[in-house]
Structure 1
Amino acid sequence: MSEAPNKQPATIRCAIYTRKSHEEGLQQEFNSLDSQRDAAENYIASQSQEGWVALPNRYDDGGYSGSNLKRPAMARLLADIEAGEIDCVVVYKVDRLSRSLLDFSRIMGTFDEQNVSFVSVTQHFNTTHSMGRLTLNILLSFAQFEREIIGERIRDKIAGQRRRGKWAGGIPVLGYDVDRTGPSPKLVTNADEAVHVRRIFAMYLEMQSLLPVVDELQRLGWFNKSWRTRTGKVRGGYMFDKSSVHYLLKNPLYIGRIKHKDQTFKGEHQAIVDRKVFDAVQALLKSNSRGKGNRIANKYDALLRGLLVCPQCNKAMVHNVARRDSRVYRYYTCQTAIKRGYKNCPFPSLPAGEMEDAVVDHIRCIASDAELRRDVLQQSQTQGDSELEALVSQERSLVAKMTRCHEEIARMTGDADTTSVATDRLATLHEQVASVERTLATVRGDAETLREQSFTETDINAAFADFDNVWNALTTTERIQVLNLLVERVEFDADDSTIAITLHPSGIKSLTQELNPAPEPNETTR
């Protein structure tokens, strides 16, 4: 009787994944990626009796961090797995695949869905066994902890470098180049750019304002710092605006100082701006900023702050003042014109007092005209109905999704499948149900709030009843609050000198509650 032939084991196609966080040393003939692959190939060869075969495709991510999945070789590996071309993934160490516990869980979910096993050469475990999965999660937790510790060390190292006056990296600035030939990068003076920097400081002292400097730089065709990254990509080279000029003038690098948080330290690089000139510029910047921004808006009670919008570039118009002799003139000016000049947004500044009076008069007209009040009511109800319809439609979609999840959970529970794939799928379904329930609660809450904020003709009449007397009795702060309750957006059409005002759909209801509060429980109504 002849013996039955030995059954050959099924072929297990093994893909080898390698990764190194930094590009340093990758130019060597036999680098870290080659070493990882060599170890993995030897391990696969030791399992040849089990049918293991190393695939020739290389999945090497050189110079990519393991803290995320934005890696080209990782993307190719996952694509080939989903295409059914891989049976097993082999790595030198677990953290080569990922240093993030969350990302690793996602990768393992993909492996399980495609029945792909995972092997680490140095940790000696296989995810097809429960003990291997447990050990893997423990090891990855330590890998993530190590990554966080490394982050803390890097931050401490940067702080230490700056305290010693060393340049610790970042975006290069106009006037300096980065010399990377030594053991650590250094700032070296770019003679041509340094001339431009000194001229910009001089311009500001001559012109006494940022915007004329911006205009002059645009006329000269001067641009911000342009540099090339290690990968060869060109960065920077933008046109100057008010913010970038201000940043340049405030930068202590130009007087040979390195900044770390609120302190500066003597740097190793050469200063290119005289300290007296720098101090004079700082004094002028401080003087010009005194009383600007929120302080001016508060001092002069800008009623339309955050409400008036430039119709040309859709930017908010900022409240500012101009002084002539003892008189103060208030304006609203587009942010683009302030930052980059009127060449970039020619929309004119608007007189603040006249704009504020026009908006208040518009509301006063609504208060005194029953037809206008009905128009406002109809428009607000139409908008509210549209928003409510969208929320109701979203609610129906979420309920249907949750029903499908519950049906699949019930079906899988009835099958009593205890494989790891089934268990993970059930866990995913339960997570989806919980997520849908949270979103559904938010949608229902928004819908209920919208229903509560709907108002009737009685509400609008109550909100605008005796508007003049109420408005005159309010403080300026209270007037600003009332306008922000009622008005969402204000635009001025310079062609026909008209104002378009968009009201908050829920503002009238809120204003009614503000001006006509409900009586306390212990009060009696007459």
Structure 2
Amino acid sequence: MRVVLYIRVSTEEQANEGYSIRAQKNQLIDYCRVNGYEIVKICIDDGYSAKNTKRPRLQEVLTLAQNKEIDAVVVYKLDRFTRSVKDLYELLEDLQSNGVGFISRQEKFDTTTAMGRAMIGILGVFAQFERELIAERVRLGMEQKVKEGKRPGGKYPFGYTSTGLLIGEEANYIKMVRSLYMSGMSYQAIAAQMFNEGIVRRNGEWTATNVALTLENPFYAGIIRFGSKMANGKYPQRKREERVDVIEVIGSHEAIWTVEEFKEHILRMRRRSNGGNSRKAIYWFNGVLRCGRCGASMYGRSTTKRSRVDGKELLGTFYWCAKRKENKSCNQPMFRQKHVEHLIKEHIKNIRVEMDQVKEYQTEIDERESEKKKEVAKLKRELEKVKSRIKKWQYAFAEDLIDENDLRLRMDEEHIAEQGINNKLELVTGVSVQTPDQLFQLIDLWDDMNDIEKQQVIGVMFDRIVLITEEENVKGVKNAYFPATVKVSFR
């Protein structure tokens, strides 16, 4: 039977001889020798946790299974493979769908038998149960710390040192934020003023988002809170429909606001949040638009006004730069959705004209495509050589021709080479002179689509649409399109 040996050791376990790479390797080689298994490959994930399946050599094992190159996967112990019952069943299902078995030497489980499958499932359930018990004990410990007026863990917020001492200058900024808010300023206007005055946080600029989060933080009022409530006042629910209790106590740290001040501005925030427009606009280009001035994402926003003709409420849809939205640090003007639509249509029409011209140079295009194919084939050959060398280093380690340090050094070198070749492949294969026919059909069908269909097709066809303009103040003629262009990349 052809088998692959899968070995995993986390950073914390590397010093533990019972879990070391060499200990697992020796045990598994002896086990395969006794049972007459042919070792096709040894896959080692060095320094990876079992918290998820995003491990490079584990993915390589699954690829071997998909390619029918092995009959079984052999591990030293079940927790070397995974610690999650959900991941366990998904991995076993993946292996079994390709006719590949799973063997754990320590627990003596073999999924080629019904008993082995049942026992692995039972063990996985108990492993998950144990993790939940540990999590519950941790939560109880954190709750007890809160009840004693201590912070349950994590970093202290802006305004405090890593040991919980107040930083005078930062505390003054936080008081300033509250003062500006109580004077009637919006989150965005506060962020803009802080930006204009050169006042920054430790990790970056003030934004509308962190202004709101600062005002909402009870820690600044001397309150330590553990747990959270939903906006409607109800407690959120976990997967098991458990209620999450919220604990609030007066902490031992120095406060920046009084509790009364905190309650005062929180009440104002709630009153403001109850206003606003309840109509929901559908933004066709959300997720793909980028600002051509600062590179930030652009998001949709809507405005309403009354028609002078019949008094009906009109909904306007715009896109604005995230940097402008957060603190006005970018002066890219807002684009109406109709303007973006117009720019995309014009861009596609120009592509169609260019493609008609390109057809006149088909021989040159064919030659370029041929060169590209040759380059791809060359890179793929280099990639196979790297994979072959990786296999040789693993065999050399298995036969004690190199030690563990040599193996790690060689594997690091090969993985760097492998990544470099993959980057080149991505670059070469990403260059194409062809444009899909669906792009031209988009223009023909666009006006017949509804809002949802437009949003979906934009998300499927476009990877990024960059809006470029030199304009800053575009107030002027109604419904006019100001000078702008787009730079487009397709999926």
Report the equivalent of 1:282: 266
SS of the aligned residue for 2:467 comes to: strand
Q: What RMSD, in angstroms, separates the aligned Cα atoms of the two structures?
A: 5.5
Per the TM alignment, residue 191 of structure 1 is displaced from its structure 2 partner at its CA by 6.4
Answer yes or no: is the 8 Å Cα contact 1:164–1:265 preserved in 2. Answer: no
Residue 21 (structure 2) aligned to one of 67, 83, 105? 105
How far residue 292 of structure 1 moved from its aligned partner, in angstroms, is: 8.8
Matched ranges for 1:368-407 at <5 A: 371=356, 391-404=376-389
- Matched to 2:467, the amino acid is F
Residue 464 of structure 1 is matched in structure 2 by 440
Q: Residue 51 of structure 2 aligns with which residue? A: none
Equivalent residues in 2 for 1:467-482 (5 A)? 467-468=443-444, 470-482=445-457
User: What SS does the aligned partner of 2:290 have?
Assistant: coil
Contact 2:216 2:266 (8 Å CA) reproduced: yes
Q: Any unmatched runs of 5+ in structure 2?
A: 1-8, 26-75, 84-126, 229-245, 307-312, 472-482
Letter in 2 for 1:206: S
Q: Which residue of 2 aligns with 1:201?
A: 178
Q: 1:206 to 1:397 in 2, by over 3 A?
A: same
Helix, strand or coil: the match of 2:464? Answer: strand
SS across alignment from 1:207: coil
Shift of 1:495: 3.4
Q: Which residue of 2 aligns with 1:7?
A: none
Deviation, structure 1 residue 261: 3.4
Structure 1 distance, partners of 2:276, 2:377, is 46
The yes-or-no answer on 1:307 pairing with 2:288 is yes
Question: 1:267 matched to which residue of 2?
Answer: 250
Tell me: CA distance 1:393–1:214, structure 2 relative to 1, closer, same or farther (3 Å).
same
Larger Rg: 1
Relative distance call for 1:175 and 1:394 in structure 2 (3 A) is same
Q: 1:311 to 1:466 in 2, by over 3 A?
A: closer
Within the candidate set 321, 330, 336, 2:323 is matched to: 336
User: Residues of 2 paired with 1:377 and 1:289: CA distance?
Assistant: 60
Of 378, 390, 400, which aligns to 1:421?
400
Structure 2 residue 479 is matched with structure 1 residue 495 = no
1:396, distance to aligned residue in structure 2 (A): 0.7
Shift in CA distance, 255/474, structure 1 to aligned 2, threshold 3 Å:
same
CA distance in 2, matches of 1:247, 1:107: 50
| Matched ranges for 1:182-197 at <5 A | 187=164, 194-197=171-174
CA contact (8 A) 1:377 1:456 kept: no
Query: What amino acid is the match of 2:293?
Result: Q
The aligned residue for residue 319 of structure 1 is: 300
Give the distance between the partners of 1:254 and 1:376, measured in 2 at CA: 68
Tell me the distance in 2 between the aligned counterparts of 1:397 and 1:100.
Answer: 37
Question: 1:357–1:223: structure 2 CA closer, same or farther, 3 Å change rule?
Answer: closer
TM-score under structure 1 length normalisation: 0.49
Distance, in Å, in 1 between the alignment partners of 2:368 and 2:147 is 58
Q: After alignment, is 352-361 or 169-178 more displaced?
A: 169-178
Q: Following TM superposition, by how much is the alpha carbon of 1:380 offset from its aligned partner in structure 2, in angstroms?
A: 11
Offset of 1:163 from its aligned partner? 4.1
For residues 99 and 198 of structure 1, the distance between their equivalents in structure 2, rounded to whole angstroms, comes to 51
Q: Distance in 2 between matches of 1:237 and 1:216?
A: 18
Taking structure 2 as the reference length, the TM-score comes to 0.52
- State how far apart, in whole Å, the 1-side matches of 2:400 and 2:456 are: 57
> For residues 364 and 238 of structure 1, do their structure 2 counterparts lie closer, same or farther at Cα, with a shift above 3 Å needed?
closer
- The structural deviation recorded for 1:474 is 1.8
Deviation of 1:214 (Å): 1.7
Match of 1:211 among 174, 185, 188: 188
Kindly indicate whether the alpha-carbon contact (under 8 Å) linking 1:302 and 1:319 is maintained by their aligned counterparts in 2.
yes
Larger RCO, structures 1/2 (Cα 8 Å, 6+ apart): 2
Alpha-carbon contact 1:67-1:100 (below 8 Å) kept: no
